Amino acid sequence: MAAVAGRTYPAVKFGIESERVTAFAEAIGADPADGVPPTFAAVYSLGVTAPQLFGDEEAAVDFARLLHAEQEFEWRRHPRIGETVVSQARVASDGTRRGVRFVSFETDTSDEDGEMVCRSRALFVIRS
């Protein structure tokens, strides 16, 4: 297993579609008329970039031993329905303590003009 701290993955575009936002809002008990729920960032930010880390053979993330320990979002603004956002992720840190691996994964999401929408931070703990 190679540490991959500092690795940056290619940017991913995601369209904020009305149908997906409505389905998500209804699933969490929110009113779709209120617009894009804040937690939809789990879809357009982390959801589109985490598969890059998990599919990275050099990162060697063992899904069977993975615990999604922390998740947080920091917004500049919420995206709008019909907008396309661009998310790019990086491994902020990758270290081992007492035989347990800790991978901090950050994703910056911007609009198509490059203006920041939100930052996602996740901590993945991988048992050995």
Among 119, 120, 47, 109, CA closest to 83: 109
In this prediction, residue 1 carries a pLDDT of 53
86 has which bridge partners? 13, 110
Tokens for 63?
Answer: 């899904």
Tokens for 15?
Answer: 């369209």
72 has which bridge partners? 121
Cβ atoms 95, 5 nearer than 8 A: yes
pLDDT in tens, 73-109: 999 999 999 999 999 999 999 999 999 999 999 999 9
pLDDT in tens, 7-60: 999 999 999 999 999 999 999 999 999 999 999 999 999 999 999 999 999 999
Average pLDDT of the chain is: 95
In this prediction, residue 68 carries a pLDDT of 94
pLDDT above 80 for 2: no
C-alpha distances out from residue 96 to 2, 68, 71, 82, Å: 11, 16, 19, 42
Which band of pLDDT confidence, cut at 50, 70 and 90, is reported for residue 128? confident
Cβ atoms 101, 94 nearer than 8 A: yes
The runs of H, that is alpha helices, within the chain are: 18-27, 41, 47-54
The domain 12-127 having CATH identifier 3.40.50.1100: the answer here is no
Domain coordinates in residue numbering, the chain: 12-127
- Global pTM? 0.92
User: How large is the average pLDDT for residues 104-124?
Assistant: 97
